[in-house]
Amino acid sequence: QSVLAQPPSVSAAPGQKVTISCSGSRSNIGDNYVSWYQQLPGTAPKLLIYENNKRPSGIPDRFSGSKSGTSATLGITGLQTGDEADYYCGTWDNSLSVHWVFGGGTKLTVL
Amino acid sequence: EVKLVESGGGLVQSGGSLRLSCAASGFTFSSYSMNWVRQAPGRGLEWLTYISDSSTTIYYADSVKGRITISRDNAKNSLYLQMNSLRDEDTAVYYCARTDYTDDDAFDIWGQGTMVSVSS
């Protein structure tokens, strides 16, 4: 069981929009920035969103992030078949000892 | 080009030890904190450990604390992970990742990973 809860899978048609949720607690999402990562099959993870809603250079504006309280959301618009991947949220957790936590991951299928 | 390249993975017997390395290039290694993250076959990402730019701050995941040691050599632009008392469940791809932004709050550069297989 991951400290950050994500849906195991989501799906949508090409061109449509999808959202992926990430639910935590005050000690992690509530008190820290959230980042999102895309992992295409057989490759290393790639940073998509940092500090809740900022995109690194080169990440298209089809990808967006938001945070409210102890939850965060990744949004992807204009879905493409190349977006099929696993998506992970992550943040620091300050409970007991300082450590980083990832969500369990969400498999996006573009139908 | 900003790059991280892991090495040192392989097949090891249960109870054995292994030292992974991560070679950094294309950026000022000594200015960034670094991490190790692993991914077991078919599973999600698991953060293992963090080391600050000058090695003054180190964090470990409870799941591996006492069995792993992170270190770095800024003169060699290298990051290391010493793993001892290896178990079957340590079988995974091990990634090094750079942390950046305001409070080291995201992993912005990842290596390609090195596979560690533990056999009993």
> Given A88, A99, A100, which is nearest B44 (Cβ)?
A88
In angstroms, what CA-CA distances link B31 with A3, A58, A110, B7, B95?
A: 30, 23, 39, 22, 19
Element (H, E) at B90: none
Kindly list the residues from chain B whose CB atom is less than 8 angstroms away from the CB atom of residue A51. Answer: 101-102, 105-106
- What's residue A24's pLDDT? 98
Place B26 in a pLDDT band, splitting at 50, 70 and 90.
very high
Condensed to tens digits (0 to 9), the pLDDT of residues B33-47 reads: 999 999 999 999 999
Condensed to tens digits (0 to 9), the pLDDT of residues A24-78 reads: 999 999 999 999 999 999 999 999 999 999 999 999 999 999 999 999 999 999 9
As given in the structure block, the two tokens for residue B107 are 């992993």
Kindly list the residues from chain B whose CB atom is less than 8 angstroms away from the CB atom of residue A44. Answer: 95, 110-113
Q: Does B115 contact A at CB distance below 8 Å?
A: no
How many Cβ atoms from other residues are within 10 Å of residue B115's Cβ? 13
Kindly list the residues from chain B whose CB atom is less than 8 angstroms away from the CB atom of residue A39. Answer: 45
Cβ of B108 and A56 within 8 Å?
A: yes
Q: Does B95 contact A at CB distance below 8 Å?
A: yes
Condensed to tens digits (0 to 9), the pLDDT of residues A11-24 reads: 999 999 999 999 99
Q: Is A95 helix (H, G, I), strand (E, B) or coil?
A: coil
Cβ of A50 and B108 within 8 Å?
A: yes
- What's residue A1's pLDDT? 78
As given in the structure block, the two tokens for residue B18 are 């292994």
